[in-house]
């Protein structure tokens, strides 16, 4: 079986100047220091779709775009949908769409991804920068982009089928021998610079490409999903602990609204249905937290975690 895996990122690849040890051991709450958490997390998100399902889903995306913009050639980016300046520049001024309709389109786009949760599967890798010291930050093992790339490649190696991997273009050129493109290929070919290696050779990846997101609907969908995963961790951290209880008296996990809507899209272990280490991993994986995100995803029945 052949799949395409469309990959995009959210958050900053770079480190800011290190925070004090107190910020690492006793981090502030999101509401008290939002900037700390926005700078701390980096997310790499892969959207995996079977080759045979691409045309049908792509057609639905194009139909949705045409309904709101009168063309399917509009590019969807999470920042453009949220940022007032970008909304005006890329949507209001170009297509004449009003704010209410743009908001409605954004909701429908997320809904379309969620509706295809059996065909559009997510692999999210989150990099928690505060646990990487100065020495490791200077090596590939501590590079947010390269380390999350390695882990995502490993996840694909353990999954069934073969994969064509397509990254959103990261350089001004699509050449494979420059900048981030070259370093990503170095991870694929030889795990260059990596200390912790669980897969010596990636046999399930048949090709790696870089593409402009403006020309690929599924890269645009990966961008939306990457941001929603980023927001989940920024707002609720690694634990997502909550105090509210559901009808059965069980503690409910805190979830960002749009993350909640795509949670059934995450890949999971076929036997025990766990997502951690399969469709969702936070580096370093310190506490082995089994995030309870698949409850109700299987025929409205409770999912074991």
* pLDDT tens-digit profile, the chain (305 residues): 999 999 999 999 999 866 677 777 788 888 888 888 999 999 999 999 999 999 999 999 999 999 999 999 999 999 999 999 999 999 999 999 999 999 999 999 999 999 999 999 999 999 999 888 888 888 999 999 999 999 999 999 999 999 999 999 988 777 777 789 999 999 999 998 898 899 999 999 999 999 999 999 999 999 999 999 999 999 998 888 765 555 666 667 799 999 999 999 999 998 989 999 999 999 999 888 888 899 889 875 443 33
The CATH number for 98's domain is 3.30.420
HEC profile of 225-261:
HHHHHHHHHHHHCCCCCCCCECCCCCECCCCCHHHHH
49: containing domain:
2-25+42-241
Q: Does 75 fall in a domain?
A: yes
Q: Does 15 fall in a domain?
A: yes
Q: Does 113 fall in a domain?
A: yes
As for how many domains the chain has, the answer is 1
State the DSSP string of 67-104: HHHSSS-----HHHHH-HHHHIIIIIHHH---HHHHHH
Q: Does 254 fall in a domain?
A: no
Q: Does 11 fall in a domain?
A: yes
Q: Does 188 fall in a domain?
A: yes
- Report the DSSP pairing between strands 2-11 and 41-50: antiparallel
Q: Does 107 fall in a domain?
A: yes
The residues that bridge with 9 in the sheet, in sequence order, are: 44
Q: Does 133 fall in a domain?
A: yes
Is the bond preceding residue 284 a cis peptide, omega within 30 degrees? yes
């Amino acid at each position: 079986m052949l799949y395409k895996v469309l990959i995009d990122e959210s958050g900053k690849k770079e480190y800011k100047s290190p925070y004090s040890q107190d910020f690492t051991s006793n981090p502030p709450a999101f509401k008290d220091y939002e900037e700390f958490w926005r700078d701390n997390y980096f997310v790499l998100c892969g959207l995996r779709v079977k080759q045979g399902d691409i045309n049908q889903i792509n057609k639905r995306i194009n139909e949705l775009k045409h309904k709101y913009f009168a063309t399917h050639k509009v590019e969807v980016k999470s920042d453009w949908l949220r940022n007032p300046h970008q909304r005006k520049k890329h949507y209001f001024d170009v297509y004449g769409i009003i704010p209410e309709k743009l908001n409605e389109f954004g909701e429908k786009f997320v809904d379309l991804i969620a509706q295809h949760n059996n065909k559009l599967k997510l692999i999210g890798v989150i990099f928690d920068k505060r646990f990487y010291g100065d020495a490791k930050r200077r090596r590939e093992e501590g590079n947010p982009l390269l380390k999350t790339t390695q882990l995502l490649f490993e996840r694909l190696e353990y999954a069934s089928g073969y994969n064509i991997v397509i990254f959103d273009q990261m350089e001004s050129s699509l050449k494979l021998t420059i900048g981030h493109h070259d370093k990503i290929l170095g991870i694929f070919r030889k795990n260059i610079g990596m200390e912790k290696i669980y897969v010596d050779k990636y046999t399930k990846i048949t090709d790696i490409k870089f593409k402009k997101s403006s020309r690929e609907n599924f890269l645009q969908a990966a961008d939306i999903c990457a941001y929603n995963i980023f927001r989940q961790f920024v707002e609720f951290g690694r634990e997502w602990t909550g105090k509210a209880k559901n009808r059965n008296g069980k503690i409910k996990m805190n979830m960002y609204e749009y993350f909640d809507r795509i949670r059934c899209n995450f890949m999971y272990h076929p036997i025990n249905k766990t997502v951690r280490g399969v469709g969702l991993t936070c580096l370093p994986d310190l506490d082995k937290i089994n995030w309870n995100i698949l409850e109700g995803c299987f025929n409205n029945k409770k999912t074991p975690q």
